[in-house]
């Protein structure tokens, strides 16, 4: 008589280990991180709050527990960017250079900060570009919270140096735009559009831009001499 084959006894499946529950602060950081990533990839109109919650494996109710309104979420995104950018330290450095009239250092520091911001926080700048194209309120909130203060500081320095004869005459607002434009154009081309740009370290690029801008801002002494001779 044939003996039936022995049926192996299967060990019971072990229950899956429970996932560690995040603290309130960690959950908030997780939600913000996924919100920034999704907004920067799909824009604001293409990202729903349920998408952000799902990316974190939680319900919308959990999301709204941390951010009662979308405005709360937007301000939190700006808080995160401001903390990462180290604006307080940067502004203190700029103020010190302004006090000792270090024009080259002042311009170089401005350019280096713009390049650093795009390099280290590309998702935020992509997000801001989407927001501007979609007519979203975030760029206005950003300008009100951070941009207007910095622009006013830069404008005051330009006006001061114009009065002291170190910078050429002209619309100070236009000169402020001139100061920021090379770094903004370079960083946007490289980090947002993915274009192959100048193959040099960013420190050298900031230095080169700063020297060119300073030369452009200096009063034209030859023109001044010719004007004086004509008047004489």
59 and 85 share a domain? no
pLDDT single digits (tens) 34-78? 999 998 898 888 888 899 999 999 999 999 999 988 888 888 888
Closest CA to 74 of 34, 115, 17, 36: 36
> How many Cβ atoms from other residues are within 10 Å of residue 114's Cβ?
22
What CATH number is associated with residue 31?
Answer: 1.10.10.60
Does residue 192 fall inside a structural domain? yes
| Distance, CA of 156 to CA of 91 (rounded, Å) | 14
* DSSP secondary structure of 126-179: HHHHHHHHTT-SHHHHHIIIIIHHHHHHHHHHHHHHHHTTSS--S-HHHHHHHH
Local structure of residue 57 (DSSP, 8 states): T
Count the residues in the chain: 232
Does residue 15 fall inside a structural domain? no
Does residue 41 fall inside a structural domain? yes
86 and 179 share a domain? yes
Closest CA to 65 of 21, 31, 38: 31
| Distance, CA of 76 to CA of 141 (rounded, Å) | 11
55 and 86 share a domain? no
Angle (CA) 225 227 228, round 5°: 65
Does 11 have pLDDT greater than 80? no
- Overall domain count for the chain: 2
pTM score, whole prediction: 0.78
111 and 190 share a domain? yes
Does residue 225 fall inside a structural domain? no
**Residue that finishes a domain, picked among 68, 90, 121:** 68
pLDDT single digits (tens) 111-161? 999 999 999 999 999 999 888 888 888 888 888 877 788 899 999 999 999
Return the pLDDT at 13. 53
Closest CA to 77 of 39, 110, 51: 39
114 and 142 share a domain? yes
What CATH number is associated with residue 184?
Answer: 1.10.357.10
209 and 130 share a domain? yes
Does residue 97 fall inside a structural domain? yes
Structural domain harbouring 177: 80-219
43 and 148 share a domain? no
Task: Please provide the average confidence, as pLDDT, over all residues in the chain.
Answer: 85
Indicate the pLDDT class of residue 232, thresholds 50, 70 and 90. Answer: very low
pLDDT single digits (tens) 14-27? 555 555 577 888 88
Q: What is the mean pLDDT of residues 184-188?
A: 94
| Distance, CA of 204 to CA of 135 (rounded, Å) | 36
């Amino acid at each position: 008589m044939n003996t039936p084959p022995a049926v192996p006894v299967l060990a019971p499946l072990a229950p899956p280990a429970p996932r560690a529950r995040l603290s309130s602060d960690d959950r908030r950081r997780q939600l913000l991180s996924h919100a920034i990533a999704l907004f920067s990839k799909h824009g604001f109109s293409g990202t729903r709050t349920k998408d952000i919650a799902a990316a974190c494996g939680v319900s919308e109710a959990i999301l709204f527990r941390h951010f009662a309104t979308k405005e709360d979420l937007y301000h939190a995104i700006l808080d995160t960017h401001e903390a990462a950018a180290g604006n307080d330290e940067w502004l203190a450095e700029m103020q010190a250079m302004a006090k000792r009239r270090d024009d080259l250092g002042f311009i170089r520091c401005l350019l280096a900060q713009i390049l650093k911001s795009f390099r280290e926080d590309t998702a935020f700048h992509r997000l801001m570009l989407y927001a501007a194209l979609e007519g979203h309120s975030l760029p206005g909130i950003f300008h009100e919270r951070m941009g207007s203060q910095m622009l006013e500081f830069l404008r005051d320095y330009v006006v001061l140096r114009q009065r002291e004869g170190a910078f050429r005459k002209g619309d100070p607002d236009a000169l402020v735009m001139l100061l920021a434009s090379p770094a903004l154009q370079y960083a946007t081309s490289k980090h947002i559009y993915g274009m192959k740009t100048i193959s040099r370290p960013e420190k050298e690029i900031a230095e080169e831009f700063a020297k060119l801008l300073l030369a452009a801002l200096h009063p034209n002494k030859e023109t001044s001499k010719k004007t004086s001779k004509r008047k004489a």
